[in-house]
Structure 1
Amino acid sequence: MTEDTSKLNTSKLGTKKYWDDFYTLEHSNFQSNPEDTGENWFDDNDAELKMIQFLEEHLHEQPGLKSNARVLDVGTGNGHLLFELREEEVFDEEAEFVGVDYSEVSVQFAKDIAVEKELDVRFEVLDLYDDNSGKDLGLFDVVLDKGTLDAIALSGLTFEEGTAVELYSSKVAKYMQAGSVLLITSCNFTEEELIGYITREPTLEVWEKIQYGSFEFGGVKGQTICSVAFVKK
């Protein structure tokens, strides 16, 4: 039985105020030094690099993984993942990259970086749990999440239909079409837990997994981070 990690201790990392304050500071640092574009989350595990390599290696293996894909980064923060994808030219120039976040401060920060880097990446404010938010974004071929579900789990938010974690996959699936790929990386959930939560949405099924270095403790093997790709049926 999958442990309900969403009911573990909440943290300030799950609050909008924390992220607004965090990106206010990072934006200020960037304005003083345009080369300082902020934190690259999970850098110690090379998660971002592995996500990019995965997309490149599996291009055209699913309908959504096409050269001119529409790519959505959920909880984009400073937009680092999308900037790297654009600079590495994993997709064609015609591909559309959109980063969304519920922090207006992070969105403005990412927009300013895009201008400085002269990169074609769009950023919009979006609250996944507000049904009136992001209605004009349309559908995407690829959806990315690097640590966003982790932060959501720390919020402790609960709605009539269930916890924010339990509802996450249905909220994300609204922006996907048949053949679209969701690639998600987590450090708070085990691979089994992550799969359990995402497949609560019946249209999403496991496709592939990214391998990371593992550890062994008490005879049990595991890894500190996991990345799983899902495809929408």
Structure 2
Amino acid sequence: MATAVSMDPQKPAHLEPSELGTREYWDQTYSTDLSTHASTPSHEGHTWFSDVNASQKILKYLTSTSLGLDKEATTFLDLGTGNGEMLFLLRDEGGFTNRLIGVDYSRSSVELCKKLSQQKGLALRPSLDEQNSIDFILWDILHSKPRPEWVEGFDVVLDKGTFDAVSLSGEVDELQRRVVEGYARRVEGLVKKGGLVVVTSCNWTEEELKNWFCGEESTLEVYGRVNYPVFKFGGHTGQSVCSICFKKKS
């Protein structure tokens, strides 16, 4: 089948829809993880990009002195949190002690995260005013409005594979556009001015991510990147995964 063309000529062509872009696929994935975890507590579920150790590399980037993020003040929102691994790392190894919130549209994902939190001895505190709080919430960025308490936005918004999944969805919005077309603007509305958005993808190159998230109507600009091993094939060089950090203009 031919690849569909984006309605916005400045954006890359769409990817062909796949089951990886459906809620049913991820509900089944995390339901299986829940069942496996119940019988084998050491099983913590599916982790995106583990083959390139992406989570640890992102953690190293976010804790770097060049970013200078205040560990007591920085707030995080993890989109499509999956098994919550990124937030657990930020809290346990990164030392971030302010609000850590993970959202996912899969109820099974949220249930898994809460069970893992209990196993790790972490308190799930719904109050956003409490220090050391961590919370996992059933929330769909494509179909739900931001919560009132999120109106000021977050210091850092994370997306590790969620944009990839949205890119593989064949669903269309009220304008009859593939839902991927409006995703970046929804993310943009969740981050504070001067805040960061870190997007990790295996479906898109760095240049393509830039085209999706930046542009004339966007307040996001490229701020940095996470480095991964580079491969050479057929005279070309590249990397299988890329993580781009965007900053919201203030």
1:46 — aligned with what?
53
Q: In the alignment, does 2:167 pair up with 1:162?
A: no
Deviations 1:138-166 (A, max 9, x none): 42111111101001111122221733222
- RMSD over aligned CA atoms reads 1.9
Deviations 1:91-129 (A, max 9, x none): 2x2x11000001111111111111111225200111111
- In structure 1, runs of 5+ residues without a counterpart are none
Q: In the alignment, does 2:219 pair up with 1:214?
A: no
Q: In the alignment, does 2:87 pair up with 1:79?
A: no
1:112 — aligned with what?
115
2:24 — aligned with what?
17
Separation in structure 2 between the aligned mates of residue 3 and residue 202 of structure 1, nearest angstrom:
13
- Counterpart mapping for 1:65-144 below 5 A: 65-67=69-71, 68-91=73-96, 93=97, 95-120=98-123, 121-132=134-145, 134-138=147-151, 139-144=153-158
What residue identity is the alignment partner of 1:56? T
- In structure 2, runs of 5+ residues without a counterpart are 1-8, 124-133
Percent identity, aligned pairs only, is 40
Is the 2:11–2:211 contact (alpha carbons within 8 Å) kept by the matching residues of 1?
Answer: no
Deviations 1:65-100 (A, max 9, x none): 322211000000110111111110332x2x110000
Please, what TM-score do these two structures have when normalized by structure 2?
0.84
Is the 2:84–2:102 contact (alpha carbons within 8 Å) kept by the matching residues of 1?
Answer: yes
1:59: Cα distance to partner? 6.2
1:4: Cα distance to partner? 2.5
2:3 — aligned with what?
none
Of Structure 1 and Structure 2, the greater helix share is in 1
Separation in structure 2 between the aligned mates of residue 132 and residue 187 of structure 1, nearest angstrom:
28
Is the 1:190–1:226 contact (alpha carbons within 8 Å) kept by the matching residues of 2?
Answer: yes
Change over 3 Å in CA distance of 1:50–1:2 after alignment to 2: farther
Change over 3 Å in CA distance of 1:157–1:82 after alignment to 2: same
Deviations 1:39-60 (A, max 9, x none): 2211111111110000011465
Change over 3 Å in CA distance of 1:58–1:100 after alignment to 2: farther
Is the 1:161–1:167 contact (alpha carbons within 8 Å) kept by the matching residues of 2?
Answer: no
